[in-house]
Copies of this chain bind each other. A is one copy, B any other.
Amino acid sequence: MVATQKRATSQRAAIQAVLAGTDEFVSAQDLHAALRAEGSVVGLATVYRALQDMAAAGDVDSLRNRSGEVLYRRCGQPSHHHHLVCRSCGSTQEVAAPGVEQWARAVAEQYGYVDLDHQVELFGLCAACAAVRD
């Protein structure tokens, strides 16, 4: 069960519901807007706080946008993995990268680095967006 939050409140539930309903990365602001759109009036600060808690608890994945926004996405896998994100429409593919993990470990070892963490994200234009733009 991924429910590590301390207290169950309606706004927290609403946030989780939105996250559960999408497969894409969303920014805190997007999430906030989505909540208002569906009627749940939740403070922006609350969204940020909840998102941070959830990220800390490992319930959601977070990554930083090209423009510096933090994007969140509900995340099934326990260990981290990587994403292929469409630059235009934001749709996301979760991708495995066995070789990458291994490579990271090898490189770290080679230089004597420990406590390794890696950030591997692919950005591109999905087929649909590429067609539109042409």
Contacts and interface: CB of A to CB of B under 8 A. Distances in A.
B116 A119 contact: no
A38 interface: no
A104 interface: yes
Interface in A104-134: 104, 107-108, 111-127, 130
Nearest to A70: B68
B99 A125 contact: no
B122 A118 contact: yes
B93 A111 contact: yes
Contacts of A116: 122-124
Contact of A104 (B68, B117, B122): B122
A64 to B, nearest CB: 5
Given A68-B68, A130-B114, A107 B123 contact: no
Interface of A: 64, 66, 68, 70, 84, 86-87, 93, 95, 97, 99-100, 103-104, 107-108, 111-127, 130
Given A95-B107, A118-B122, 5 more contacts: A64-B64, A93-B113, A113-B122, A113-B130, A120-B120
